[in-house]
C-alpha cells in the first residue's frame, strides 16, 4: 500500500468510526465521461463494487466505502442501467451500500438523471437548488418551493430528499441567506414525509461562511436539539490534514 492509499484509508476509517457515511461520487460537471451500453453499465457496476465497495484492494487501497453518488451532467443514457446493476449487487452479495443522486432542480424534465431516478432505487436524492434560475432562490423563495413540491411528488416515498443549497455566494448562483432558509424554506420542506435534510456545496466554503452553524438547529425534522457542529469541524480538520499529507508525496 502506498502513502496516498494509507492516508486515504485512515480518513475513511476515521469518518466511518464516527458514523459518517462515505460515498464515492461519480460524474461531475466537466464532461468527458459516458456509458455506451447496458453491458458497459454492468461492467462499470462490477468495477465499482470490487474496487470501492467490497473491501478488496483497489485504487484507494483496501477501503469499503458506503455507497455511490451519481453526480451526472452528461447524457442520460444507461445511468438507469448502472443503478439497477448496483442495486442487484447490493441485494445479492450480502453487502448493502447506499445509492444517492445529485440532480439539478428542474423537473420537466429532470436533466441527465431522470431515467435513473425513475428506477426508485436511490436512498438519498440531493437536489441542487442552485445554478438554475427557474427553480433556485432569486428574488424570493416561490420558484424553489414550487420545485421542491414537484420533487416530493415525483420520487418514491422511500427516497430521502435533501435541499441542496450553496454554502456561500461564491459556491453557486442562487445563494440563500441562512435566515431565509430557516424561516421560509425549511418549515415548508419539513412538511414532506421524505424530507431528509440539507445538502451544502461545499464544506470548504461552509467553514469560511459559517453557514451550517446558522442553520443546524433547524435542519432536523424532530424538535430534539442536538449539537453536531464540533463533530463537523473535527471532520473537516481531519480530512484537511489527510489531504495535506497526500499532497506532499
Cross-strand bridge partners of residue 4: none
Q: Quick check: helix, strand or coil at residue 173?
A: coil
* Residue pair 206/212 in contact by the 8 Å Cβ criterion: yes
Q: What is the DSSP letter of 126?
A: E
- Please give the helix or strand (H or E) that residue 9 lies within, else none: helix 3-17
Closest Cα partner for 79 from 150, 26, 139, 129?
26
Respond yes or no: is residue 73 known to be catalytic.
yes
Residue in 56, 73, 146, 191 annotated catalytic: 73
CB-based contacts of 170: which residues, under 8 Å, 6+ apart?
A: 205
Q: What is the DSSP string of 89-111?
A: HHHHSS---EEEE--BS--TT-T
| Whole-angstrom distance, CA of residue 235 vs CA of residue 33 | 30
Q: Are 131 and 174 in contact (CB under 8 A)?
A: yes
Q: Residue 108, SS3?
A: coil
DSSP string, 139-151: SSSHHHHHHHHHH
Angle of the 211-219 helix axis to the 229-247 helix axis, nearest 10? 140
- Please tell me the distance from the alpha carbon of residue 189 to that of residue 150, in angstroms, as a whole number: 12
Helix (H, G, I), strand (E, B) or coil at 224: coil
Catalytic residues: 73
Amino acid at each position: 500500500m502506498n502513502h496516498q492509499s494509507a492516508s486515504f484509508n485512515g480518513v475513511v476509517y476515521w469518518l466511518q468510526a464516527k458514523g459518517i457515511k462515505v460515498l464515492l461520487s461519480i460524474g461531475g460537471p466537466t464532461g468527458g465521461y459516458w456509458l455506451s451500453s447496458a453491458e458497459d453499465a454492468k461492467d462499470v457496476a462490477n468495477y465499482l463494487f470490487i474496487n470501492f465497495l467490497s473491501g478488496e484492494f483497489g485504487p484507494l487501497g483496501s477501503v469499503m466505502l458506503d455507497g455511490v453518488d451519481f453526480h451526472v451532467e452528461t447524457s442520460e443514457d444507461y445511468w438507469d442501467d448502472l443503478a439497477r446493476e448496483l442495486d442487484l449487487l447490493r441485494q445479492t452479495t450480502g453487502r448493502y451500500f447506499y445509492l444517492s443522486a445529485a440532480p439539478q432542480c428542474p423537473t420537466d424534465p429532470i436533466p441527465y438523471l431522470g431515467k435513473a431516478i425513475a428506477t426508485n432505487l436511490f436512498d438519498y436524492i440531493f437536489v441542487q437548488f442552485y445554478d438554475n434560475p427557474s427553480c433556485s432562490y432569486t428574488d424570493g423563495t416561490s420558484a424553489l418551493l414550487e420545485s421542491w413540491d414537484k420533487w416530493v411528488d415525483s420520487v418514491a416515498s422511500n427516497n430521502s430528499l435533501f435541499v441542496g443549497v450553496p454554502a456561500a455566494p461564491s459556491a453557486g448562483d442562487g445563494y440563500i441567506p441562512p435566515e431565509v432558509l430557516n424561516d421560509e424554506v425549511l418549515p415548508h420542506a419539513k412538511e414532506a414525509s421524505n424530507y431528509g435534510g440539507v445538502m451544502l456545496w461545499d464544506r470548504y466554503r461552509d467553514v469560511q461562511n459559517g453557514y451550517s452553524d446558522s442553520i443546524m438547529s433547524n435542519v432536523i425534522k424532530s424538535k430534539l436539539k442536538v449539537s453536531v457542529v464540533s463533530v463537523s469541524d473535527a471532520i473537516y480538520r481531519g480530512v484537511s490534514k489527510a489531504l495535506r499529507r497526500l499532497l506532499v508525496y
